[in-house]
Amino acid sequence: MSGMEKPSRLLFAQVDHLSGEVLGFAIEKIMEKGACNVQVIPSITKKNRPGNILIIDVPSEQEDRVARFLAQELKVSGYHRIDATHVFCQVAFLTKDLILSRNGSSLNLSCKVKVIGNPAAPLSLDIEHDALVSMQQAVQDGLGLAVSLIELRALIESRLKDANSVAVEL
């Protein structure tokens, strides 16, 4: 798959002294400092202590802000930097009308769908998580039916490539 490309910078920072709460706080603050994404990989250090590796995707102009936070707040004395290339597909959003029905009752909803690739011939169609949660609540309220997010996603996404309107029997 060939896609579009842009320069990217990845920072790898090892921490072996943070609780889960502090790690969660750190991810939030690193994102606020300009990171595009933060990943956490559990690890075992050379002294057989549990640790974590933070992988921080950050624009070069925001690296200093993130590095200062790592040193001041997390006591990270150094990190590895890799200049990389981010290869990505075109992403667009469209709205699909959904008709969800159960035992003769129906519910009409609109749903925001992420389209990966050319919208005329998409590689993938995906319902955003927040939209799915809203639909789950609407199904519960409107049809009196409890359906898991996994099941609801599978039912809807299996029909997304159909026309602008999607009908799903629950």
Say yes or no to pLDDT of 61 above 90: yes
134: pLDDT confidence band, cut at 50, 70 and 90?
very high
CA distance 69 to 51: 19
Summarize pLDDT for 25-43 with one digit per residue, the tens: 999 999 999 999 999 999 9
In CATH, what is the architecture of 4-88? 2-Layer Sandwich (3.30)
- Return the CATH number of the domain spanning residue range 91-169: 3.10.20
Percent over 70 (pLDDT), the chain: 96
Domain residue ranges of the chain, discontinuous segments joined by +: 4-88, 91-169
**What is the per-residue pLDDT for 44?**
93
Is the fold of 4-88 the same as that of 91-169? no
User: Between 25 and 100, where is the model more confident?
Assistant: 25
What is the overall mean pLDDT for the chain? 90
Say if residues 140 and 132 touch (Cβ distance below 8 Å): no
**What is the per-residue pLDDT for 45?**
86
**What is the per-residue pLDDT for 163?**
63
**What is the per-residue pLDDT for 15?**
94
CA angle (92 as vertex; 89, 93 as ends), nearest 5: 145
Say yes or no to pLDDT of 3 above 60: yes
DSSP class of 162: S
User: Which tokens belong to 4?
Assistant: 């579009």
Phi and psi at 139, nearest 5°, equal -65, -40
